[in-house]
């Protein structure tokens, strides 16, 4: 204690200050300890933090299998000399495939036209059966046919080229990111170099963060007294895009920088750049975010990235700074200014010459007024595609694997079908029919069953109730041909001229009520040839014939023709009290139009992986029906419906007298109007009515047939082929006398018969002639049977 | 001596070959069978009677490509070319018959039958193509276990040369 007292100079110490007293001489040690503590803390906190960031960034980079929407393509248009196609259709097809008209077709994806001469520069494309390089060809139209076609450059089969198909829809993943993946090697050089010139000139040299860029940005921002330049490297921007956060905090910046360095540590520049060009946010379409330059190019310019001009590349590069700010559709002036600014940078960095810059600047922005439809250009058809694919693919695969789906749609015919419906219904309104009529229209290829066009609403492109697939409506007289088909299969009882009775008939139904069908004209026509009952669509005769062949057989027949629905086994079904959808009716008539070869209607032909490997093909398969001779006879009768029966106004509506087979259909109280018609190669079904099934004042002839005719005014019409199959022949007969005759005899008409069902006796006229020249007649009638 | 060694060697190879457990070759209709049972006899039957429609050059080109693919054993590719050609000329009996022959080689006998029948229905019903139609029908029926139908079709093939076209 005294010792303590003897040291008065010493400052009083607090108890426990011995440490401090002891530490004083070790100030260095104290600093060292602090440092150690900090390092300890650093190691304890930062290292796990960095490791955590590393895991995150690597997960994101490597584990990120981009969910790529599937792309749905129309059928590729085949062009060859002799192909029937109008100039209007060819232009529509080129437009649908995203081709641009230019003074010279110097770049892929462009064409020039001079009168009837087309010069088309076809893009390289992976078709369902392999990839084809770009090729340039010229063709000349003459009338509505390709007269000559020649490949100018690039490989191509002489005389046959395919246009790359129109992209008609995308099937999106759940989180709604839309992108078209591009490989770095397919990205235009100017975009790669330009991007670095504008966004990150040190890209090749830095390790994720560029202090020089930060300094340069700092100076620029100070000068401008606002943030005009960012110091982020492309790698940092990529990180930022990965985690999509716009938070402007220091911690985020630090994280971003650390992650950028880590990315550079793990991956090479090319990998980072490729990820960048596919990841960068480039705009928004509804709920779909546009990611990457590949999709941006399609979204803004409706063309692939490889086809872009310098000024378009400059715009995309400029938009990296702010896809909304420089959105060329919403802020065109600002976008133009930014594009030109970028072009100047291209000039400063030596990427473009002054002449090229001046030329580029002289162009407008060049963006399409409307973006390529995000969901689907033809929603009703794509609905059918989805339903077909649902059988083989999970919904999640369709929306994430970037599949290429090749369909059967013909864009020009789809456009015509949509117009036929919208303009047709407008015309019907002018004619005093309800303004809110609805319609559906299906067009398919007879032989292959490929659906070429499908309309499910009066408003083109509206995605809602798809009447073509889902409107189940009574089909009325459209069912009658099947009743007569069944009758003609009974060779011993019926041929086309067999007399049938069209007279009042009353039947007691299951509920005890009496059913007495009447004819449309409220008259009965007595005894008439079977064919006439169909041609004039007489109800009473049809019921008589139908009862003799059996309602159960009719139902069986509908199933045989590929339509699986429950149909009540009641006599009213004979007159079409049967509810079917337009697509089902198309299926039913496809078999008839194809001469008794049933093909399931198809909308998809193949599905490929994004790289072009085949996943599935849906090949042409068909099934011959039995009794094809009866089908051939029926086809003949259906051509008579158009020539002289309920559809005889059709030729006038078409302005064309080519042989067509058809049938009208009207239901009770004029609620539904149907028309089914086929040419040699096309079958189409049109329906018109009101959604709530109110009486609509429509008949088959006054509404649906008009819509049908509007479509067929635009597509090639080939005459129905009435050549008879084995076992059926055309024979000269006198219908009134039910007897064989000669062309020179009065009342002689040529009608097809199944062998053995021809009339057994001859007209007097024929007997007289037979006496004169027995031998020649013998040869005429029976010579064919040897 | 030398000859004996050679013979012994050959015998050993033969024995080894017999012992090896090669999977049995499926008894499908091969390209060769289509040639020997359908195409060659039909060509022989026809002896100059050929009723061919004039083919569109594009169809001709696709047919040639299909034939090359078929010769290389690439049957799916051959079908693809023919289907493209059928989109251009859906009613060309030669295309339909060619497809039937591809289906035979793919052992899809029902479709082979259907394509051949359709080719006959819309074809000339005489001459070489008719004979190929019925010979294909015959082979397909045979594989579909319809022996009677197969021999009927075989007989029908021989009549292609003396039957006049019907149905006009």
* pLDDT tens-digit series, residues A29-75: 778 778 888 777 777 777 788 888 888 777 777 766 566 778 899 99
When pLDDT is cut at 50, 70 and 90, the band that residue B10 belongs to is: very low
Handedness of CA A218, A222, A224, A225 (dihedral sign): positive
Kindly provide the b/e burial profile for residues B131-163, where b requires at least 16 CB atoms within 10 angstroms of the residue's own CB: bbbbbbbbbbbbbeebeebbeebbebbeebbee
Position A13 pLDDT exceeds 70: no
Position B158 pLDDT exceeds 70: yes
Mean per-residue pLDDT, A6-27: 43
**What pLDDT score was predicted for residue A777?**
46
**What pLDDT score was predicted for residue A9?**
39
List alpha helices for A320-391, DSSP H.
332-348, 354-361, 379-390
One domain, residues A142 and A231 = no
**What pLDDT score was predicted for residue A271?**
87
Residue A6 falls inside a structural domain? no
One domain, residues A194 and A158 = no
Q: Where are chain B's structural domains?
A: 28-161
Q: Which of A664, A658, A687 is nearest to A677 (CA)?
A: A664
Mean per-residue pLDDT, A352-360: 93
* pLDDT 10s digits, A376-388: 678 899 999 989 9
Angstrom distance (rounded) from CA B119 to CA B112: 11
The burial class, CB within 10 Å (0-12 / 13-18 / 19+), for B67 is middle
For residue B106, count other CB atoms closer than 10 A to its CB.
16
The minimal CB distance from A725 to the residues B61, B87, B167 is found for B167
Handedness of CA B63, B65, B66, B72 (dihedral sign): positive
DSSP A521-582: TS---EEEEHHHHHHTT-HHHHHHHHHHH-HHHHHHHHHHTT-------SGGGGGT--EE-H
Q: Tell me if A376 sits within 8 A of A603, measured CB to CB.
A: no
Give CB contacts under 8 A, 24+ apart, made by A301-305: A301/A366, A301/A367, A301/A368, A302/A98, A302/A368, A302/A371, A302/A372, A303/A98, A303/A100, A303/A109, A304/A109, A304/A123, A305/A182, A305/A186, A305/A187, A305/A188, A305/A191
One domain, residues A655 and A586 = yes
Q: Tell me if A546 sits within 8 A of A506, measured CB to CB.
A: no
* pLDDT 10s digits, A237-251: 888 877 756 666 677
One domain, residues A708 and A756 = no
Residue A22 falls inside a structural domain? no
Interface confidence, given as ipTM, is: 0.79
In this structure, are strands A288-291 and A177-178 parallel, antiparallel, or unpaired? Answer: parallel
- Going across the sheet that includes A135-142, the strands are A100-101, A110-114, A117-122, A135-142, A145-153
Q: Which of A573, A488, A580 is nearest to A533 (CA)?
A: A488
**What pLDDT score was predicted for residue A728?**
96
Collect all residues with Cβ–Cβ distance below 8 Å to A180 and sequence separation of at least 6: A68, A71, A292, A294, A295, A298
* Interface residue of A139, A160, A452, A627 to substitute, partner B, most B CBs within 10 Å: A160
DSSP B59-89: HHHHHHHHHHHHHTT-HHHHHHHHHHHHHH-
Residue A282 falls inside a structural domain? yes
The minimal CB distance from A726 to the residues B88, B91, B166 is found for B166
Mean per-residue pLDDT, A661-668: 94
**What pLDDT score was predicted for residue A18?**
38
In this structure, are strands A167-171 and A160-162 parallel, antiparallel, or unpaired? Answer: unpaired
Q: Which of A313, A311, A318, A398 is nearest to A363 (CA)?
A: A311
Q: Three-state DSSP class for A403?
A: coil
Residue A375 falls inside a structural domain? no
Q: Tell me if A746 sits within 8 A of A765, measured CB to CB.
A: yes
Catalytic annotation, pick one of A477, A598, A697, A757: A477
One domain, residues A528 and A570 = yes
When pLDDT is cut at 50, 70 and 90, the band that residue B50 belongs to is: low
Residue A718 falls inside a structural domain? no
Contact list in B for residue A158 (CB cut-off 8 A) is 61
Q: What is the pTM of this model?
A: 0.78
List alpha helices for A26-118, DSSP H.
27-41, 47-62, 87-96
**What pLDDT score was predicted for residue B16?**
43
One domain, residues A676 and A777 = no
Angstrom distance (rounded) from CA A259 to CA A288: 27
**What pLDDT score was predicted for residue A700?**
81
Collect all residues with Cβ–Cβ distance below 8 Å to A438 and sequence separation of at least 6: A425, A457, A458, A467, A471, A688, A689, A690, A691
DSSP class of residue A376 equals: B
One domain, residues A323 and A301 = yes
**What pLDDT score was predicted for residue A213?**
74
One domain, residues A522 and A663 = yes
CB contact under 8 Å between A595 and B77, yes or no, is no
Domain boundary among A121, A143, A165: A165
Centroid of chain to Cα B6: 41
Comparing alpha-carbon positions, the chain A residue that sits nearest to B58 is A160
* pLDDT 10s digits, A261-295: 888 888 888 888 988 998 888 998 877 788 899 98
Helical (H) or strand (E) element with A178: strand A177-178
Q: Which of A347, A348, A328 is nearest to A338 (CA)?
A: A328
Q: Let me know how long chain B is.
A: 168
* pLDDT 10s digits, A605-620: 999 998 889 999 999 9
One domain, residues A287 and A143 = no
Q: Three-state DSSP class for A137?
A: strand
* pLDDT 10s digits, A155-185: 666 678 999 999 998 877 656 677 787 888 8
One domain, residues A131 and A244 = no
Query: For A200-209, B26-35, B145-154, which range has the lowest pLDDT when averaged over its residues?
Result: B26-35
Q: What CATH topology corresponds to B28-161?
A: 1.25.40
Position A603 pLDDT exceeds 90: yes
Query: For A244-258, A543-557, B58-72, B133-147, which range has the lowest pLDDT when averaged over its residues?
Result: A244-258
Collect all residues with Cβ–Cβ distance below 8 Å to A349 and sequence separation of at least 6: A193, A197, A201
Position A701 pLDDT exceeds 60: yes
Question: Hey, is the C-beta of B111 within 8 angstroms of any chain A C-beta?
Answer: yes
**What pLDDT score was predicted for residue B6?**
52
For chain A, percent of residues with pLDDT exceeding 70? 90
Comparing alpha-carbon positions, the chain B residue that sits nearest to A750 is B168
What does residue B139 show for φ and ψ, rounded to 5 degrees?
-60, -45
CB contact under 8 Å between B118 and A624, yes or no, is yes
Q: Judge whether A135 counts as a catalytic residue.
A: no
**What pLDDT score was predicted for residue A423?**
97
**What pLDDT score was predicted for residue B46?**
66
Number of domains comprising chain A: 4
Domain boundary among A309, A327, A361: A361
As a three-state string, the secondary structure of A472-516 is CEECHHHHHHHHHHHHHHCCCCCCCCCEEEECCCCEECCCCCEEC
Angstrom distance (rounded) from CA A49 to CA A55: 10
Q: Tell me if A620 sits within 8 A of B83, measured CB to CB.
A: yes
Question: Hey, is the C-beta of B121 within 8 angstroms of any chain A C-beta?
Answer: yes
Q: Judge whether A199 counts as a catalytic residue.
A: yes
One domain, residues A505 and A653 = yes
CB contact under 8 Å between A129 and B61, yes or no, is no
Q: Tell me if A67 sits within 8 A of A175, measured CB to CB.
A: yes
Residue A406 falls inside a structural domain? no
Position B23 pLDDT exceeds 70: no
One domain, residues A221 and A300 = yes
- Structural domain range at position A187: 173-361
Mean per-residue pLDDT, A463-478: 93
- Closest CA–CA distance from residue B35 to any residue of chain A (Å): 23
For residue A54, count other CB atoms closer than 10 A to its CB.
17
Position B144 pLDDT exceeds 90: yes
**What pLDDT score was predicted for residue A631?**
97
Collect all residues with Cβ–Cβ distance below 8 Å to A765 and sequence separation of at least 6: A734, A741, A742, A744, A745, A746
CB contact under 8 Å between A129 and B77, yes or no, is yes
* pLDDT 10s digits, A742-782: 998 989 999 999 999 999 999 888 777 666 655 544 444 44
Q: CA dihedral in degrees (A205, A209, A211, A213; nearest 10)?
A: 80
CATH number assigned to the domain comprising residue A605: 3.40.710.10
Comparing alpha-carbon positions, the chain B residue that sits nearest to A598 is B114
Position A6 pLDDT exceeds 60: no
**What pLDDT score was predicted for residue A783?**
42
Domain boundary among A344, A361, A378: A361
Mean per-residue pLDDT, A639-668: 96
Q: Three-state DSSP class for A678?
A: strand
CATH number assigned to the domain comprising residue A106: 3.30.2060.10
CB contact under 8 Å between B76 and A83, yes or no, is no
């Amino acid at each position: 204690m005294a010792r303590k007292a003897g040291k008065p100079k010493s400052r009083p110490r607090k108890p426990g200050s011995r440490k401090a007293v002891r530490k004083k001489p070790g100030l260095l040690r104290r600093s060292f300890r602090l440092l150690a503590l900090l390092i300890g803390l650093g190691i304890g906190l930062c290292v796990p933090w960095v490791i955590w960031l590393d895991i995150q960034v690597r997960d994101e980079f490597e584990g990120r299998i981009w969910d790529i929407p599937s792309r749905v393509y129309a059928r590729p248009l085949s062009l060859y000399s002799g192909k029937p196609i109008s100039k209007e259709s060819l232009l529509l097809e080129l437009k649908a495939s995203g081709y641009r008209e230019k003074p010279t077709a110097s770049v892929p994806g462009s064409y020039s036209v001079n009168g009837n001469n087309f010069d088309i520069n076809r893009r390289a494309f992976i078709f369902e059966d392999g990839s084809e390089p770009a090729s340039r060809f010229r063709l000349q139209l003459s009338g509505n046919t390709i007269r000559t076609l020649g490949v100018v450059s690039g490989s191509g089969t002489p005389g046959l080229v395919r246009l790359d198909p129109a992209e008609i829809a995308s099937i999106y993943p759940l989180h709604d990111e839309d992108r078209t993946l591009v490989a770095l090697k397919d990205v235009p050089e100017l975009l790669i170099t330009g991007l670095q010139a504008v966004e990150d000139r040190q890209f090749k040299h830095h390790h994720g963060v560029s202090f020089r860029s930060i300094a340069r940005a700092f100076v620029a921002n100070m000068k401008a007294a606002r943030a005009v330049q960012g110091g982020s490297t492309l790698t940092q921007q990529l990180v930022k895009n990965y985690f999509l956060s716009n938070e402007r905090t220091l911690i985020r910046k630090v994280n971003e920088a650390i992650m950028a360095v880590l990315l550079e540590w793990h991956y090479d520049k090319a990998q980072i750049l490729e990820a960048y060009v596919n990841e960068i946010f480039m705009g928004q379409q509804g709920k779909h975010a546009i990611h990457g330059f590949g999709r941006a190019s399609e979204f803004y310019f409706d063309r692939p990235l490889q086809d872009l001009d310098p000024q378009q590349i400059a715009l995309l590069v400029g938009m990296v700074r702010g896809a909304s700010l420089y959105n060329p559709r919403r802020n065109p002036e600002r976008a133009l200014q930014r594009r030109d600014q970028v072009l100047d940078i291209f000039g400063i960095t030596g990427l473009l010459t002054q002449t090229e810059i001046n030329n580029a600047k002289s162009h407008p922005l060049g963006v399409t007024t409307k973006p390529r439809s995000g969901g689907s250009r033809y929603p009703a058809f794509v609905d059918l595609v989805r339903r077909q694919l649902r059988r083989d693919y999970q919904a999640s695969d369709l929306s994430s694997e970037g599949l290429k789906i090749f369909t059967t749609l013909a864009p020009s015919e789809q456009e015509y079908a949509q117009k036929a419906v919208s303009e047709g219904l407008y015309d019907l309104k002018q004619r005093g029919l309800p303004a809110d009529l609805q319609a559906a229209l299906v067009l398919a290829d007879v032989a292959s069953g490929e659906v070429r066009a499908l309309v499910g609403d009066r408003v083109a492109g509206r995605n809602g109730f798809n009447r073509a697939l889902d409107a189940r409506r009574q089909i009325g007289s459209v069912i009658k041909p099947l009743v007569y088909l069944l009758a003609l299969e009974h060779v011993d009882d019926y041929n086309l001229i067999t007399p049938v009775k069209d007279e009042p008939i009353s039947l007691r139904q299951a509920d005890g009520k009496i059913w007495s069908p009447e004819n449309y004209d409220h008259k009965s026509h007595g005894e008439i040839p079977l064919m006439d009952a169909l041609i004039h669509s007489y109800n009473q005769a049809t019921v008589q014939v139908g009862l003799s062949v059996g309602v159960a057989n009719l139902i069986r027949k509908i199933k045989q023709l590929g339509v699986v629905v429950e149909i009540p086994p009641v006599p009213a079904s004979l007159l079409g009290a049967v509810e079917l959808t337009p697509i089902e009716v198309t299926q039913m008539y496809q078999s008839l139009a194809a001469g008794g070869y049933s093909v399931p209607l198809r909308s998809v032909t193949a599905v490929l992986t994004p790289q072009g490997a085949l996943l599935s093909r849906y090949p042409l398969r068909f099934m011959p029906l039995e009794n094809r001779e009866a089908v051939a006879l029926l086809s003949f009768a259906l051509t008579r419906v158009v020539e002289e029966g309920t559809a005889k106004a059709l030729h006038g509506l078409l302005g064309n007298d080519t042989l067509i087979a058809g049938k009208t259909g009207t239901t009770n109280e004029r609620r539904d109007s149907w028309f089914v018609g086929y040419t040699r190669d096309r079958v189409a079904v049109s329906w018109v009515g009101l959604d709530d099934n109110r009486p609509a004042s429509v008949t088959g002839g006054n509404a649906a047939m008009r819509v049908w005719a509007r479509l067929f005014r635009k597509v090639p019409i080939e005459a129905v082929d009435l050549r008879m199959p084995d076992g059926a022949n055309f024979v000269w007969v006198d219908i009134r006398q039910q007897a064989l005759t000669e062309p020179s005899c009065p009342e002689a008409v040529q009608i097809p018969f199944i062998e053995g069902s021809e009339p057994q006796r001859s007209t007097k006229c024929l007997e007289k002639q037979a006496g004169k020249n027995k031998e020649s007649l013998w040869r005429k009638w029976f010579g064919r049977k040897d | 001596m030398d000859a004996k060694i050679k013979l012994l060697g050959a015998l050993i190879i033969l024995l080894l070959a017999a012992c090896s457990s090669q999977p049995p070759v499926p008894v499908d209709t091969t390209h060769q069978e289509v040639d020997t049972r359908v195409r060659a006899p039909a060509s022989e039957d026809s002896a100059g009677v050929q009723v061919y429609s004039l083919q569109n050059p594009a169809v001709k080109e696709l047919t040639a490509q299909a034939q090359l693919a078929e010769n290389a054993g690439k049957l799916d590719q051959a079908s693809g070319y023919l289907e493209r050609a059928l989109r251009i000329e859906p009613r060309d009996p030669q295309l339909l018959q060619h497809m039937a022959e591809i289906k035979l080689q793919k052992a899809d006998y029902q479709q082979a039958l259907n394509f051949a029948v359709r080719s006959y229905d819309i074809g000339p019903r005489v001459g070489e193509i008719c004979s190929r139609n019925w010979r294909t029908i015959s082979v397909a029926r045979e594989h579909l276990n319809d022996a009677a139908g197969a021999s009927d079709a075989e007989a029908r093939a021989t009549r292609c040369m003396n039957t006049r076209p019907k149905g006009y």
